[in-house]
Amino acid sequence: MSLLEIYHFNGDTLGIYFQMTNPNSKISYKTIPSPISRSTNEIEIITGSGVSTNFFNNYYPRDLNCGAYFHYGNRPVGDCSTGKIPVTAYVSNTALNLGNDTIIDIADTLILCCPTGYSNYNWSIGTVNDTALIIANNLGFGIHYISTSFTDSIGCCISDSLIVGIADLVGLKELKNDFFSYPNPATHALNFSKDVQSLQIRSLLGNTVLSQVGTFNKVGIEHLPKGLYILDITTSTDRTTLKFVKD
């Protein structure tokens, strides 16, 4: 038996893997319905996954079918111990991307998805499944911050969030293919694909935050707070409405 000496602070969390150096030896795992927690006054141990020897396959959840001993303080119990043993941290490669911030109409719905097959899904809107249905009318007009998290097979918490703006977009004209604004999201300025005679930028609450008249193909937006905006545009041939994100 080897002793593993680890220094950490109160409240820290540490994941430990057991792997046999002899390829002919095996560690036994037991299938369990959910992770098991075992604790004393000094430490809490939560079982999680069985992992293949190449670390490519996770078997979750599993309980280690062996005995594990620990000590705390300045020295091991007894008079002998091994030297320091290097510890390799294996970081979760599970990814979560809910997508870009967006604006939807008050009558619309939006479906957001997490990867399937994990546990402890937790959405800010109260959903506990891997998929969340955003009903705009339930949230109401304005800017809403939607976040979610889940636990992957090695116990890491994965999270992401996005902004969903809800406004009355009924009756907005479809954007013509020969006219567009860029970049989106924008930080310093909005550029237009052709000259504009007038524009009006509105917040999702309907307040006008910027208006400009003349002939131009660019407008500065540095002073605007971050968020989602509606852009009313008049050109020499048409009027249209766009949506953009100020980053």
Return d(Cα 224, Cα 227) in angstroms, integer: 8
Pair type for strands 227-234 and 189-203: antiparallel
208 and 149 part of one domain: no
Three-class secondary structure assignment of 76-118: CCCCCCCCCCCCCCCCCCCCCCCCCCEEEECCCEEEEECCCCC
How far is the C-alpha of 239 from the C-alpha of 173, rounded, in Å? 8
In a domain? residue 158: yes
CA–CA distance, 94 with 46 (Å, rounded to integer)? 20
Domain boundary among 90, 117, 143: 90
| Residue 112 and residue 56 in one domain | no
CA–CA distance, 200 with 48 (Å, rounded to integer): 55
Residue with tokens 């490519």: 56
Asked if the structure places residue 172 within a domain, the reply is no
The total number of structural domains in the chain stands at 3
Nearest of 171, 191, 189, 172 to residue 181 by alpha carbon: 191
**The tokens of 152 are what?**
């992957």
Peptide bond into 183 cis (omega under 30): yes
Question: Cα separation of 48 and 36, whole Å?
Answer: 8
Token pair of 223 as six digits: 């002073």
Q: Are 219 and 210 in contact (CB under 8 A)?
A: yes
Residues 14 and 81 in one domain: yes
Residue 130 lies in a domain: yes
Residues 11 and 77 in one domain: yes
Q: Are residues 195 and 239 in the same domain?
A: yes
**CATH number of domain containing 220:** 2.60.40
Bridge partners of 239?
234
Domain match, 86 and 107 both:
no
Domain that holds residue 18: 1-90
How do the pLDDT tens digits run along the chain, 247 residues long?
A: 344 445 455 566 666 666 666 667 666 667 778 877 877 766 677 777 766 656 666 777 777 666 555 555 555 454 444 455 555 555 667 788 888 888 888 888 899 999 888 889 999 999 999 999 999 889 888 788 899 999 887 778 888 998 888 877 654 444 445 678 888 888 899 999 889 999 999 887 778 899 999 999 999 999 998 888 888 888 888 888 888 888 8
By residue count, the chain amounts to 247
Contact 148, 123 (CB under 8 A): yes
Note whether residue 96 is domain-resident: no
> Given CA atoms 36, 39, 119, 58 in this order, what sign does their dihedral have?
negative
Q: What is the pLDDT of residue 193?
A: 87
Residue 4 included in any domain? yes
- Domain identity same for 47 and 106: no
Domain stop point among 37, 64, 90: 90
* Co-location of 25 and 86 in the same domain: yes
Question: Rounded to two decimals, what is the model's pTM?
Answer: 0.44
Domain boundary among 115, 139, 167: 167
Q: Are residues 199 and 158 in the same domain?
A: no
Helix (H, G, I), strand (E, B) or coil at 70: coil
The amino acid sitting at 238 is D
Residue 174 inside a domain? The answer is: no
Q: Which amino acid is at 100?
A: N
In a domain, 34, yes or no: yes
Same domain membership, residue 71 and residue 7: yes
The answer to the question of residue 46 being in a domain is: yes
Token digits for 3?
A: 């002793």
